[in-house]
Amino acid sequence: MAGVKALVVLSFSGAIGLTFLMLGCALEDYGVYWPLFVLVFHAVSPLPHCIAKRVTYDSDAASSACRELACFFTTGIVVSAFGFPVILARVAVIKWGACGLVLAGNAVIFLTIQGFFLVFGRGDDVSWEQW
């Protein structure tokens, strides 16, 4: 039952993050939908971790080169997701208020993704592989 409660909380926080992102795009003062390209970063960010988890078979090792490389790529993806709206605001494609809303949405969504892997990524009875 704890897994279901965690999934509901993570779903709610993901919806809050997407609401911030949509507000940064669709409010009447902003009205530019370029920040929606951040969704690509949100979709791609868990992939290096999932691939590294499947490739490395030794689960007792503290770290491996494959996992470290996956962390490096994930960090690059997350930093790019935060940098993209700032660059768009700097070149005046979007307004700074929209940039702030997109950055807030990024923070909430990436914390939700991290929370998902922390809750369901362990090797106990409730695992994210079952979803």
- Whether the per-residue pLDDT at 131 is higher than 70: the answer is no
| Mean pLDDT (whole number) for 23-52 | 92
pLDDT of 78-127, one tens digit each? 999 999 999 999 999 999 999 999 999 999 999 999 999 888 876 544 44
Q: CA–CA separation, 66 vs 128, rounded Å?
A: 21
> Which one is predicted more confidently, 32 or 61?
32
| Mean pLDDT (whole number) for 62-67 | 79
Instruction: For residue 39, name the pLDDT band (cuts at 50, 70, 90).
Output: very high
- Whether the per-residue pLDDT at 130 is higher than 60: the answer is no
| Mean pLDDT (whole number) for 45-68 | 80
Q: Look at residue 57 in the predicted model and tell me its pLDDT.
A: 67
Quote the percentage of the chain above a pLDDT of 70: 85
- Whether the per-residue pLDDT at 41 is higher than 80: the answer is yes
Contact 89, 49 (CB under 8 A): no
Task: Write down the domain spans for the chain.
Answer: 2-130
